[in-house]
Structure 1
Amino acid sequence: MCFSATASLAAGTFLLGFGVMTLHMAKRRHELAYAAIPLLFALQQLTEGVVWLTFGPGLEPLNTAAAQLYSFFSHVLWPVYVPAAVWLLEDEPPRRRALGATAAAGLAVGLYLLYTLLADGIVARPTGQHIEYDARHLYIPVVMALYLLATTGSLLLSSHRGVQLFGVLAFAASVVAYLFYARWFISVWCFLAAVLSMAVALHLAQRRLPPPALKP
């Protein structure tokens, strides 16, 4: 199986420990939100593990609750959280203004998708060895464009190379997920992004390196 309960639970468990490590790597308060990204992905992947395990008779209420919690991460949290976390890291005023715009876009998309989740709910189905989430509102072109702007564009706008690298990897993963797993885009992209969130440690490690010594 390409993706499964085992894959989700294993990724979530690993990222739980990795996320604790990145939180300890953050030495300044404004770094904490960015450092917490792997930990939040860990919770999301563990939640999808529960979704996998509750496809069965009598488990429908638990499956629905787990699918809704997972979709809160994928639809609402990430477009709001990511640009805000990157904005907190940024020191350059022009980039902060641009990041403020992406944060506003992310907030708008997140609130819209929260409304659709509350109004319509979410249905998760195991199809083709993946989980399909019935989320037609996310695929509206303007919604998807603003979602990508908030979640990957904000990373690319950062002045920090480690953050930019995470943005490049996350955007590339979205393209791969859409081209090869369009029906299961949400599940596959979130899984890939969760694994790639280990790049968060690169920025925190680079920031802690001492500046190179000046040559005489």
Structure 2
Amino acid sequence: MCWSATADLVAGTAVAAIGVACVARTRRVRDLPLAALPVVLGAHQIIESAVWRADGGGGPATVAWAVIALPLLPLWVPLGVLSAAPAHARRRLAAPVAVGAATCAVLAYSLATRPVTAQVRGHTLGYALDLPHPRLLVAGYLLATVGALLLSGDRRLAWLGVLVAGGAAVCAALWRLEFISTWCAFAAVCSVVLLGWSGRPDASAPRKPAR
């Protein structure tokens, strides 16, 4: 999240544009789910600009924001990493994928059966949803997303996992203090990392013989 509707809209548009570039640079079909992640993050921030304009509440924009943030990402990220991972790393990614699917199921059920609301808190938006075993769900969320990146078998994705873990901690601390959120800048940095990753050579493609 950013600190205003305008900031969310501008940052979200920029992140989504980076995502389009990631998809355009991708050389392997199986890299597309992960390359498209910045498009999802950008759309997420654009949706939040609508939450700001509605002054929070529990309307369609709040629900759409929560669907992306809660059940979608803990499943999208590990599946995207699994799709892009080299063969030797796929077996160890089974755990993050399984945990992500379970976390996604619980969060999706909670969203379907309980109301979610947003409230303006200083320079941030606070979202409220009554979740069962919230600490366990947070642990599952982090294992699915950060864990998958760290176990990906790809150096750039592993560094992205470290960045996500550190950035999430900083963003959470600043949100609790109700300072200006760093999420918009953090999403942009992650998207730039994925832009560099998406343009890497396809190691599985046949090489032309040297003349």
8 Å contact 1:4–1:129 — kept in the other structure?
Answer: yes
From the superposition, tell whether residues 135 and 85 of structure 1 become closer, same or farther in structure 2 (CA, over 3 Å). Answer: same
Match of 1:4 in 2: 4
Q: What SS does the corresponding residue of 1:200 show, helix, strand or coil?
A: helix
Measure the CA separation in 2 of the matches of 1:55 and 1:3.
13
Q: What SS does the corresponding residue of 2:27 show, helix, strand or coil?
A: coil
The amino acid that maps onto 1:194 is: A
Match of 1:17 in 2: 17
Match of 2:195 in 1: 201
How many percent of aligned residue pairs carry the same amino acid?
29
8 Å contact 1:174–1:189 — kept in the other structure?
Answer: no
Match of 2:147 in 1: 153
8 Å contact 2:23–2:198 — kept in the other structure?
Answer: no
TM value normalised by structure 2: 0.86
Match of 1:83 among 75, 78, 81: 78
Measure the CA separation in 2 of the matches of 1:138 and 1:162.
34
Superposed CA RMSD in Å reads 2.4
5+ long unaligned stretches in structure 1: 210-216
Instruction: Using the TM superposition, give the Cα deviation of residue 137 of structure 1 relative to its aligned residue in structure 2, in angstroms.
Output: 1.9
Match of 1:101 in 2: 95
Instruction: Using the TM superposition, give the Cα deviation of residue 84 of structure 1 relative to its aligned residue in structure 2, in angstroms.
Output: 0.3
4+ residue segments displaced more than 3 Å? 187-193, 206-209
The amino acid that maps onto 2:139 is: A
Match of 2:126 among 110, 128, 132: 132
Instruction: Within 5 Å, give how 1:36-185 maps onto structure 2.
Output: 36-55=36-55, 64-93=59-88, 95-137=89-131, 140-182=134-176
Measure the CA separation in 2 of the matches of 1:139 and 1:99.
24
Instruction: Using the TM superposition, give the Cα deviation of residue 192 of structure 1 relative to its aligned residue in structure 2, in angstroms.
Output: 5.0
From the superposition, tell whether residues 96 and 190 of structure 1 become closer, same or farther in structure 2 (CA, over 3 Å). Answer: farther
For CA contacts below 8 A with separation 6 or more, give which structure has more relative contact order. Answer: 2
8 Å contact 1:113–1:138 — kept in the other structure?
Answer: no
Match of 1:30 in 2: 30
From the superposition, tell whether residues 79 and 175 of structure 1 become closer, same or farther in structure 2 (CA, over 3 Å). Answer: same
The amino acid that maps onto 2:59 is: T
The amino acid that maps onto 1:118 is: A
The amino acid that maps onto 1:175 is: A
From the superposition, tell whether residues 37 and 149 of structure 1 become closer, same or farther in structure 2 (CA, over 3 Å). Answer: same
Measure the CA separation in 1 of the matches of 2:141 and 2:60.
24
The amino acid that maps onto 1:35 is: A
The amino acid that maps onto 1:69 is: A
Decide which moves more: 194-203 or 149-158: 194-203
